[in-house]
Structure 1
């Protein structure tokens, strides 16, 4: 059955199932709720702008207008802010203004913002070794890697195919062998990845950010979801539903599992543009 609503753990990240699954994550994965502040929402007044002149030239000839571009790319939502006003807002594929949609790797930016907030509060030392907060990784390839090197993607972690599969199994985003319960904490404590010297060239390794989530929780005590709500989401004036996916043992997927409404994601962009200040 290729009906998109037949999405499950085995197919939710592939078309056509992804179109439904990406805004129905609760039906696929366990999540932790992130409280917003609808009573003090950051206002985003509308000031519509016409994009009648929009034209995208295609590599093999022809052009797409804005509507054609949105349909061709199967865009679920697009919101454009200018000077704090919504000048364009579009939804499709079952997504609407109130629908939380998975942000995938843009989640890493939220984890990075949380790290900055906590460092500013003196609750985590970004120049400390990650093993200071998560001693379970002291004898792994993360030995000697600092919090800063993880967030900058300059930890020298090198996964082979088996390592990547073990990480994928631990994250809980795909089916695993019956009777097994791989999870992120066990994965990090027993990982067999090789390591180059830390602090070298940028190397995009998603597990770095999941490990940061564990370090953040260890350094502070509360869950990552609770911290985001208290220190970022509510003060920012987020108004919609938000949550983050969890592994089978309840660890947050801080590298890709954040789900939010498009307007709240726009508020986050405005917050960064405003140097972390609302109003």
Structure 2
């Protein structure tokens, strides 16, 4: 069987390395990969910068095991942490590190999580309805589907899945679980398909896609973690340090844009004749909007097609 680490192709790898590299050239540079996954981006950064120390963080213990194998040649320069990336400040504190030169966040679900049927992330496999990135946590997708009220299910499907038939799907879920628990991905995917209008099923791909995205975000508190993590990570960047965020849907990208833009804005009151030094931007945005993969990368790797990359540099301390 093909080795999954070797087969894994990191999204927008060259561009990410290019944008982070200027902050990593100095001796003693430290980078945090807050979503280490299979270690593809980390490997490229470590190869490009022989003096770089990297802290690899992931909430998925299986991902950490795989990245350890991939990054074995750099073992003396990598420190691993089984944690969620909004814990970056605490992880740095325990290591006596005040500031870092780079932070990388590659958001969303990883390829192994999608491809391993037993993880329950994909509607294309019949598997237990799980979707936990950290399998040590208690609540999974089956708990959400079988215990949330119709109102709460409607809310998460609408907010996190941008599903226009959220109420219909939620009501169908509540009716079905009254007869028998919904425990498998296929059971849920079939239920969603039947709940939406027939005309809608014929276009736009699998009709369960938005429901599965919404449940995954809810189970893993993805957006709440992102909103906490961005300002916390930026606060630990050294002046000249850079943060790179790869998003895969608009909910993530909007929050990333808002967090970076807020700190890249001069907040001097408009009626003052000169800029106030303490109101000057803390960040400089390095990407024009959100950069997207080149067409040939999307052709080679369809999962890269939705990627959006934003990068900013810290220019001032508060």
Band of TM-score, shorter chain = under 0.3
Give the structure-2-normalised TM-score: 0.26
TM-score, reference length from structure 1: 0.28
